[in-house]
Copies of this chain bind each other. A is one copy, B any other.
Amino acid sequence: MNDQTELLVCIKCRSGQQMAKDSRRSGQALFDTLTQLDRPAGLRVTAVECLQNCDHGCTVALRGGARWTYVYGNVDENADPAMILNGAAQYLATADGIIPWRERPEHFKRNCVARIPPLEVPHV
């Protein structure tokens, strides 16, 4: 199921800054860095044109298979790529997407925007 696991990256995020229309956005910079780093086996990194968390970007989401989908905001495109990939590896290692609280990256604890249950769970 791991091959379905995705890190979605909003490439339209501006981190709340005014940016010239043709300048490279923070979200695009985040995506570019994430795709250049080594990433966990089985994780696909997908660019998305707007996850609509515009006031609290950069924004990423983790989803895959029978796991809960998690959306995280306030990602720093310079400081946070390695943290995001480490968190993605922890996510991949779970069956349900729920990283135990104590093991969760601090950023994930404080900047979860929303989570969505997996389709496969009839009763949540």
Contact = CB atoms under 8 A, between A and B. Distances in A.
Contacts of A70: 52
B124 A52 contact: no
Interface residue range, chain A: 20 to 34
Contact of A51 (B46, B47, B50, B115): B115
A119 B48 CA distance: 12
A75 to B, nearest CB: 13
A52 B114 CA distance: 5
A92 interface: no
A66 interface: no
Given A49-B124, A124-B47, A124-B48, A116 B113 contact: no
6 contacts: A48-B124, A52-B114, A52-B115, A61-B114, A113-B113, A116-B116
Interface of A: 4, 8, 46-53, 59, 61, 63, 69-71, 112-117, 119, 124
Given A4-B119, A51-B116, A69-B116, 6 more contacts: A8-B116, A51-B114, A52-B113, A52-B115, A59-B114, A113-B113
